[in-house]
């Protein structure tokens, strides 16, 4: 039986990306971006509150989906599907969309005065941190795809070994909920392990495997639903504490801040799984529509938010308008492009989704 709350949590999470990435232009901690306006603590608080859990949630949902997928697919079929869904759109997006982002980054951050097409040489020859903020080669939001692809391959080896050497398969079913809560403990130790561009392979692999081995259990999902308000309270409190310490306090809380981040990550994930099971475990026209468009939306969203911020920078005045108007415009543009994509089979293939034309009879 399909668990619709997984699809609904996934598309809702993905649709947060435009306001999240728009807010990066106002961050208060000096992080580079393709375009930067001015530091704003209120907008930065949005980033800091959501950043601990909204991408890890996608990895956990991917782990859960992998458990269900491997009931119907061989390892070879799963890897082939991951290649089509993740590696192809990663290569396409990096080669087609990221040079545009890098050009804007070079213009706004370095004063690049050359032509757009002339900048392609810069993009393919300047290698720094893979962000593209300085005009060099970057992967933009597509880091998520190559992370998930590599983690999926690594997880297959771990899953195969577990099936061979671990005979008892009902461990998750018998886990008390307090033990599931204690799975937060390794997270602070993983944040800097196998880190690329400030993102940890170790952290996301851990969360992915938790999705596969633990949260794919119906009993664990039921427990998450039962205790969702408790975990939501803990997650919200930790998230607010994280925001205060990092944005508003003016002090460096070090390890305490990292612990608050880990608590926010894990307990918000637990809460969202429980809330999803309780309130989002159904398919509707809206959920089906948004879910189908979430993958091309993911590929397109960052390009549009940066373009509109770039185009409107000299037209709009005031931080509120500079934040809100580009979000509104980017959302409309990304949805229109996603709609077009779904009607063109070759674009669907390149963006890792299925064409609408195939579902019509």
**pLDDT of 2 above 80:** no
**pLDDT of 359 above 60:** no
User: Can you tell me the distance from the alpha carbon of 95 to that of 333, in angstroms, rounded to the nearest whole number?
Assistant: 20
Average pLDDT (249-257) is: 94
**pLDDT of 358 above 50:** no
pLDDT at 171: 73
Q: pTM for the whole thing?
A: 0.94
Give the tens place of pLDDT for each residue, 294-348. Answer: 999 999 999 999 999 999 999 998 899 999 999 999 999 999 999 999 999 999 9
* 164-168, 268-272, 302-306: least confidently modelled range: 164-168
Average pLDDT (84-93) is: 96
Average pLDDT (159-173) is: 76
- Binning pLDDT at 50, 70 and 90, where does residue 169 land? low
- Binning pLDDT at 50, 70 and 90, where does residue 168 land? low
> For the residues of 108-137, what is the DSSP string, one character each?
HHH---S-TTTHHHHHHH--SSSB-TTSS-
User: Can you tell me the distance from the alpha carbon of 297 to that of 27, in angstroms, rounded to the nearest whole number?
Assistant: 24
Q: Are 209 and 67 in contact (CB under 8 A)?
A: no
Eight-state DSSP code of residue 195: E
Of 37, 32, 109, nearest in space to 313 by CA: 37
Structure tokens at 170: 């009902």
Structure tokens at 349: 């293939």
- Binning pLDDT at 50, 70 and 90, where does residue 361 land? very low
- Is the CA virtual torsion 109, 113, 117, 120 positive or negative? negative
Give the tens place of pLDDT for each residue, 222-241. Answer: 999 999 999 999 999 999 99
User: Can you tell me the distance from the alpha carbon of 304 to that of 230, in angstroms, rounded to the nearest whole number?
Assistant: 38
pLDDT at 167: 60
User: Can you tell me the distance from the alpha carbon of 257 to that of 265, in angstroms, rounded to the nearest whole number?
Assistant: 12
* 67-76, 148-157, 181-190: least confidently modelled range: 67-76
Query: H/E element holding 184?
Result: none
User: What average pLDDT is seen over the chain?
Assistant: 93
**pLDDT of 33 above 90:** yes
**pLDDT of 200 above 70:** yes
């Amino acid at each position: 039986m399909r668990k619709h709350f997984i699809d609904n949590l996934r598309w809702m999470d993905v649709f947060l990306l435009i306001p999240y990435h728009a807010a990066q232009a106002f961050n208060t901690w000096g992080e580079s971006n393709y375009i930067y306006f001015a530091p704003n603590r209120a907008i930065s608080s949005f980033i800091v509150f959501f950043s601990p859990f909204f991408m890890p949630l996608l990895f956990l949902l991917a782990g859960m989906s992998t458990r269900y997928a491997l009931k119907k697919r061989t390892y070879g079929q799963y890897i082939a599907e991951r290649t089509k869904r993740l590696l192809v759109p990663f290569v396409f997006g990096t080669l087609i969309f990221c040079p545009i982002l890098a050009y804007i980054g070079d213009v706004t951050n370095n004063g690049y005065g050359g032509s757009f097409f002339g900048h392609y040489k810069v993009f393919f020859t300047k290698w720094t941190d893979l962000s593209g903020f300085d005009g060099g080669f970057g992967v933009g939001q597509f880091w998520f795809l190559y992370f998930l692809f590599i983690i999926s391959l690594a997880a297959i080896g771990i899953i195969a070994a577990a099936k061979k050497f671990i005979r008892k398969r009902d461990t998750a079913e018998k886990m008390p909920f307090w033990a599931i809560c204690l799975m937060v403990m390794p997270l602070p130790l993983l944040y800097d392990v196998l880190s690329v561009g400030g993102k940890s392979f170790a952290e996301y692999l851990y969360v992915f495997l938790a999705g596969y081995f633990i949260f794919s259990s119906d009993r664990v999902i039921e427990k998450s639903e039962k205790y969702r308000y408790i975990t939501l309270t803990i997650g919200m409190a930790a998230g607010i504490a994280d925001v205060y310490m990092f944005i508003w306090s003016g002090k460096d809380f070090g390890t305490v801040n990292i612990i608050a981040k880990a608590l926010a990550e894990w307990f918000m994930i637990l809460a969202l799984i429980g809330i999803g099971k309780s309130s989002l475990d159904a398919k509707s026209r809206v959920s089906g529509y948004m879910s189908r468009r979430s993958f091309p939306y993911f590929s397109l969203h960052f390009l549009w938010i940066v373009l509109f911020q770039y185009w409107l920078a000299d037209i709009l005045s005031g931080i509120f308008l500079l934040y809100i108007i580009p979000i509104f415009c980017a959302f409309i543009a990304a949805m229109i492009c996603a709609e077009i994509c779904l009607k063109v089979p070759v674009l669907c293939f390149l963006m890792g989704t299925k064409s609408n034309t195939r579902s019509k009879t």
